[in-house]
Amino acid sequence: MKYGIRQTQDEATTKGTVAIERLDAVIFDMDGVVTDTARTHARCWKRVLDDFLHARSERTGGAFRPFGDEDYLRYVDGKPRYDGVESFLSSRGITLERGEPSDPPGHDTVCALGNLKDREFERAVMEEGVKPFESTVALIRSLRSRGTRTALISSSRHANMLLAAAGITDLFDAIIDGSDAEALGLPGKPEPAIFLAAARQLAVEPSRAAVVEDALAGVQAGHRGGFCLVIGVDRSSQADALREQGADVVVSDLADLELRIGASEGSP
């Protein structure tokens, strides 16, 4: 049994127990794990990409096939926004010029589409605000009270703004967002670079750190990075897929994750 994990495998998503003394740090993804913003991202992606696909179908005479939940989870979720655009368009056999990050929001380039989604997301956050998952906040506070360091990573350039709006910036010893990743030249998920950068900032080895993710690409990244534990949070009925991509334990909410203290070295 790996790193003191206990989980009933005959249930798709259930409670898990983790031996906390084996962890020096836990690195959390933001959207869908710490803040309830993954649904906002998905809604904004759908609006932007459906408009693009509808305009394209009218121009080419092809059938309009809308952007769906599976498209978001498979091609976009957890990835830097331009990478997500390219991944989705490729799945539909559509090629657009990459363009430049300075491209105005629109339909002409990959960057323009990504910037259009970014504008929609900013508008939604301004109108709706940001709510953290209280169970995640409780877990982070519990970890920190026991001396476990915590970091937050996000492909979004808005991470610091969202954390400040939710009032939880002080819960993390290190924060790496999309702007930091670009400045450091870090490839996006499923590459593990952003998680490894967070571990370096915390001065911990991946073998002594856990990753908490809700996206398939993020779980892949944690697994590839050699982290001792990858926890999948299943908020989209994809528990099996999270396990297939490398999650060691899957829970529907972090309230279902039980921290065990004081296990002997040889105990499960």
Asked if 29 is an active-site residue, the reply is yes
B/e letters for 68-99, b = 16+ CB within 10 Å, e = fewer, are eeebbbbbbbbbbbbbbbbbbbeeeeeebeeb
- pLDDT for res 260: 75
Q: Which residues contact 237 (CB under 8 A, 6 or more apart)?
A: none
- pLDDT for res 261: 63
- pLDDT for res 265: 45
Which pairs from 106-115 meet CB under 8 Å and 24+ separation?
A: 107/51, 107/52, 107/55, 110/82, 110/85, 110/86, 111/82, 113/48, 113/49, 113/52, 113/85, 114/81, 114/82, 114/84, 114/85
Q: Which domains does the chain have, with CATH numbers?
A: 2-37+131-260 (3.40.50.1000), 38-128 (1.10.150)
- pLDDT for res 8: 44
User: How distant is the alpha carbon of residue 2 from its chain centre?
Assistant: 23
- List the catalytic residue out of 29, 36, 71, 214: 29
Asked if 173 is an active-site residue, the reply is no
What distances in angstroms separate CA 162 from CA 82, 159, 214, one per listed residue?
A: 20, 5, 18
Q: How many CB atoms lie within 10 A of CB 109?
A: 18
- pLDDT for res 208: 95
- List the catalytic residue out of 24, 31, 77, 180: 31
pLDDT 10s per residue in the chain (268 long)?
343 444 444 444 556 777 767 799 999 999 999 999 988 999 999 999 999 999 999 999 999 999 999 999 999 998 999 999 999 999 999 999 999 999 999 999 999 999 999 999 999 998 998 999 999 999 999 999 999 999 999 998 889 999 999 999 999 999 999 999 999 999 999 999 999 999 999 999 999 999 999 999 999 999 999 999 999 999 989 999 999 999 999 999 999 998 776 544 444 3
